[in-house]
Amino acid sequence: MNTLSFYKYQGTGNDFVLVDDRQNQLHLTQEQIAQICHRRFGIGADGFILLRSHEAYDFEMVYYNSDGRTSSMCGNGGRCIARFAADLGVPGNRYRFLAIDGAHEAEVGPATVSLKMQDVAQVSPVKGDWYLDTGSPHYVAFADAPEELEILSAARAIRNSPPYQQEGVNVNFIALRENGLYMRTYERGVEDETYSCGTGVTAAALVAHTAQSGLTQPIQVSTKGGQLSVSFEEGPKGFSNIWLRGPAEFVFKGTYRHD
């Protein structure tokens, strides 16, 4: 049996197992990572993240979905790994790190971690709803009462439809509220509803703006796990200088035995 030292972090209820792998030596199988993330037989998490060293960046983020597969960008995971880096003593409170979709900037404050997202060139209408890529692919639909929606059946019908069946898509249902947006998210790879999704919150804010909702920036987005905010600039080439802001917190640390 081998032992793995890990740290648990969460960002508005989106929870992750993080490992300090600055020696770049840890190699786990898909099955091992899925077991670690299992909420009955493992630690339990929406995702698994390695913090690795990189000669050109403050660190590198290697992200896996809870099914053990490598995945596209995770916004809340990016904010949590920035907090993790600060807690580990990586110098400074502003970081430039590498993720699967390219370089990101992050700023760690006492209560908030801010993450700069990749530019978004296009928000595309799809059968009355919307599709865009904010580092991960997202399908966004307005709903009268997302709180009352049978989200698993509704989201899976979209996620498993022919355009998205092979690669998968994250599905978000959003509604305008007096103080911003409320949303619920179904994530591919987790294949379930999560309490929050950073790339999904970013997608929701950009869709709401595109639909001319009249929301002022920063757009406040409430999820099941808490509130995040999104600010951005719009130009002829789409959206740039996109920042996702909200809490990212250490929960506990421990050791995990694995084969």
Q: Which residues does the annotation mark as catalytic?
A: 74, 197
Cα separation, 137 vs 169, whole angstroms: 6
- Taking alpha carbons only, the member of 7, 100, 109 closest to residue 61 is 100
Cα separation, 51 vs 87, whole angstroms: 12
Cα separation, 74 vs 18, whole angstroms: 13
